[in-house]
Amino acid sequence: MASSLLSFGSASPLTLLDPLKVNPRVGGSNQATFLGKNFIKTKKSFTRTSMAVAVEVSKFNELTMAPPDPILGVSEAFRADTHEMKLNLGVGAYRTEDLQPYVLDVVKKAENLMLERGENKEYLPIEGLAAFNKATAELLFGVESSVLQQQRVATVQGLSGTGSLRLAAELIERYFPGAKVLISAPTWGNHKNIFNDAGVPWSEYRYYDPKTVGLDFDGMISDIKAAPAGSFVLLHGCAHNPTGIDPTPEQWEVIADVIQEKNHIPFFDVAYQGFASGSLDEDASSVRLFADRGMELLVAQSYSKNLGLYSERIGAINVVCSSSEVAQRVKSQLKRIARPMYSNPPIHGARIVANVVGSPDLFNEWKEEMALMAGRIKSVRQKLYDSITSKEKTSKDWSFILKQIGMFSFTGLNKAQSENMTSKWHVYMTKDGRISLAGLSAAKCDYLADAIIDSYHNVS
């Protein structure tokens, strides 16, 4: 980067000097120093000497302003709004009926155990806390799973779901060069960022049908069949984000058939186990179906939602392999990837999960709290549907709201309608029409219904 020289003299208050035409001789008569800065004498008058000061142009001057995150940016705009009825339905974080953040009682108890034991803060191994890795794999596949009994799973603790997905993406880029990842249209906004930054090519398969506000199952199957053999197929284990639309058990069987026929590799993102239906086993059924068929697969996990450990960044990447020997090699390469990326993972969240799952009493209490959280979301979903249908004056069918599952509802509102929700009604949401029911209270369902009805019918 070039620098400019500013001349301060009696003839002119500000004259730009070309640095290429000035030849400061170190230690010579043209060189002066003031407060550690070098100055160059440019001319003399009867009573004073004018000087030029070097002004450095930033080495980062070519960097442009990054756009705000489409999800996290919603919360920033919400905080700046002072309207009394404002709603933040953008970020997927659970709130109480009073719309306050919720720390699970079982988490507090697990943390108290940690304090009582006086556990240290030493570095974890690269692969993470052993007790956590054991617990998370058993939650996902089931304690009696053959893949665990045969030691065919490589499990490495990751930085929640995002970090675990990134570890897997780096593994794909390094050891499956040219392999493509198929992702659903639409999908969680960060999926594309993760694969782009890892240098992994991706394409989309059809998933959402705007005509029915449901699953385009035929399109999904057709696109998976058409993909090059050996592609990675990214699947949402339960509570698809952003649509809330999941395949039926029968449809999951067909999806598994096609993936096996094409020699694809299933890659699950499981961010809501236990949080969607209220049952840990039910929400893991899709993953277990593929594992029980003897397929090799990848599964990323997160405990942000089901244990409310959003800021602890705790999750895992699991790779189911054909043998224990292969699993050991895969684990060694995941560790190799993690080492220069973040060295080793944080311990606090890992210990919370291990303590909760490792104690029968805490584990049962956790399942009860999960069922309560999932139940509140289901209740709000039903109330919103009832409010909308009571206000609807046309034949518009809103039953898709009840058919969706998990913390999100894909409303079918387009970008302009979603913007009207924010600008007129102070309802903050992503521009694809997704709302987080976890951030809605029963008391505000009528207000939200008015906003949706107005935006749908009065904004093209």
CA distance 161 to 307: 13
Q: Is 305 a catalytic residue?
A: yes
Coil, strand or helix: which one is 383?
helix
| Rounded CA separation 105/402 (Å) | 29
Total number of residues shown for the chain: 460
Q: Which amino acid is at 314?
A: I
Nearest to 287 by CA among 327, 323, 229, 246: 246
Over 345-374, what HEC string results? CCCHHHHHHHHHHHCHHHHHHHHHHHHHHH
Q: Copy the structure tokens of residue 404.
A: 């969706």
Gap between the Cα atoms of 317 and 315, Å rounded = 7
Q: Which of 180, 305, 331, 444 is catalytic?
A: 305
Verify whether residue 269 is a known catalytic residue. Answer: yes
Q: Which amino acid is at 154?
A: A
Closest listed residue to residue 166, CA positions, set 177, 178, 176, 158: 158
From 188, 202, 366, 425, the catalytic residue: 188
CA distance 156 to 166: 12
Active site residue 393: no
Q: Which of 246, 269, 283, 398 is catalytic?
A: 269
Q: Do 189 and 360 form a contact (C-beta atoms < 8 A)?
A: no
Active site amino acids: 188, 269, 305
